[in-house]
Amino acid sequence: MHSDIIKKGPDRAPHRSLLRATGVIKSEEDFGKPFIAVCNSYVDIIPGHAHLQEFGRVVKEAIREAGGVPFEFNTIGVDDGIVMGHEGMKYSLASRELIADCVETMVRAHCFDGLICIPNCDKIIPGMLMGAARANLPTIFVSGGPMVAGTDSQGKKIDLISVFEGVGALASGKIDEARLLELEQRACPACGSCAGMFTANSMNCLCEALGIALPGNGTILATAPERKELLRAAARQLMVLVEKDIKFRDIVNAASISNAMAVDVAMGGSTNTVLHVLALAHEADVNYSIRRFNQIANRTPHLVKVSPAWDGARQWHMQDVHAAGGIPAIMKELTTKKGLLDTACLTVTAKTLGEDLASAENRNPECIRPLKNPHSKRGGLCVLFGNLARQGAVIKVGAVEQVQMTFKGPARVFDGEEAALAAAKANQIQAGDVVVVRAEGPRGGPGMREMLQLTSYLKGTPLSEKLALITDGRFSGGTRGLCIGHVSPESAEGGAIGLLRDVDVIAIDLPARKLVVELSDEELAARKKDWKAPARKYTRGWLSRYSKLVLNAAKGAVLKD
């Protein structure tokens, strides 16, 4: 066992003495058992993580029962909803790199034999995935589970996005303060990751598609009894992986990443998944270009519309997807057409994906549409290219209304989210505008802030389907409408978005995957000559170091090696 490095032989007597002092070692026999790292992300201030302390206890008990010795450690976490709309959001994406470094450090420094990760929200999941890819041990992921959707006084399902959009609706007079208070009090009724197909749930579902988590990981509710049984099953299965020496990179490779992206575009996942999958591929030493996302989306139909997307007059949530059969049901639908999934991929069940899906069943073809009746023939995410995004820009096309598939209008250029939000609140944005928010990229922000406060405010006003928004920053998985993020190169590195001026005409063509500004190459080159790199906003601390090292969104916003 790898852990023999710290526990075998007379030279390791001091190490064993320290291990005894932890209280984890219960008997001399424990030194002959696999040492298992339990990487938890329990944090009181994040509702998706507030229950994970108890989940850690369940996992540790199951590991010990299965013949391992569990050692738990924690990571940090940032709640994207709570840090939304202020400086704190600059730390969200940057926290992913800290989490990856911490997982790598803890696991490799202490010579563990296996790793079980308990994430749930936003950057914590990809951060753990990246750290696990570096450590490359037998590994399994088991999340904290999604939150049940809220219900208002009329029996209508609501979620966190209902509250964000309610702020804009109040400002425009569409609702009153009593209704906003009702939304606030009822939208998030329990622990768990927010109830729609936002970033957290998208990533937890993709862990299943990658093969690094057991079926149900992404969709079993946080408060359901089945979630604790999934924890126990994951702990038991990790011990099987340790025995068989099936490591992280035996499962996560180019083929399984393509499987995950096929599921992603079929279920209309968050735009942030593109960023995180690129980062995971980098850490797993897989050459994976952003252009491959369109290749997969072009051949994979969009089968599921979950909040924030609307399916006609209704809105599905994660509990509905689970009742319909969950991620296995989506994957089973994809296997009905050759070439959409590689069913020979190994998973943490120690079987192939095809074997895992043998008993999967779509129990609600209205929620999870069959392949012959998709929402669209192409997937719910796409990457746009053009002279405004030569390295790509990302949109959740499955959450865009048909009337917005093409758009052309004058640019309204803002440096930073605050300036754009202030203009929106002052009614200075007009129908037909293309709102450009720059200086929010990974380097320029720094931290590539999500802009759910801005997008949801605009969505709550009468302008909701009459304008477009473009940024080198990010959008929440809860964003819907014609919102294009991840524009690369970003403005801080001299990308075209940093050269725009008010009234420049921008043309968007989603079917053609195009994002262009109607300027000649000569005009853009002339403007580039006058461009100067902006001064760094932070000169000390983590964000200062981050802004020096981070690459752009087309490269996954990873740090330079």
Give catalytic residues, as residue numbers. Answer: 476
- The encoded tokens of residue 475 equal 């959008």
SS3 assignment for 181-200: HHHHHHCCCCCCECCCCCHH
Q: Which residues share a beta bridge with 79? A: none
Residue 216: which region, alpha, beta or left (left: phi > 0; alpha: psi -120 to 50)? left
- Rounded to an integer, what distance in angstroms lies between the CA atom of residue 177 and that of residue 199? 29
Residue 271: which region, alpha, beta or left (left: phi > 0; alpha: psi -120 to 50)? alpha
- Rounded to an integer, what distance in angstroms lies between the CA atom of residue 19 and that of residue 22? 5
Q: What is the CB neighbour count within 10 angstroms for residue 533?
A: 12
Collapsed DSSP state (helix, strand, coil) of residue 364: coil
Q: Which residues share a beta bridge with 414? A: 437
Q: Which residues contact 533 (CB under 8 A, 6 or more apart)?
A: 492, 493, 494
Helix 542-549 to helix 90-109 angle, to the nearest 10 degrees? Answer: 90
- In degrees and rounded to multiples of 5, residue 389 shows phi and psi of -150, 70
- Rounded to an integer, what distance in angstroms lies between the CA atom of residue 200 and that of residue 450? 14
Please give the DSSP secondary-structure letter assigned to residue 316: B
Instruction: Give buried/exposed letters for 437-473 (b at 16+ CB in 10 A, else e).
Output: bbbbbbbbbbbbbbbbbbbbbbbbbebbebbbbbbbb
Please give the DSSP secondary-structure letter assigned to residue 147: P
Q: Which residues contact 36 (CB under 8 A, 6 or more apart)?
A: 63, 68, 69, 70, 71, 112, 113, 114, 115, 116, 238, 239, 242
H or E stretch covering 14: helix 13-21
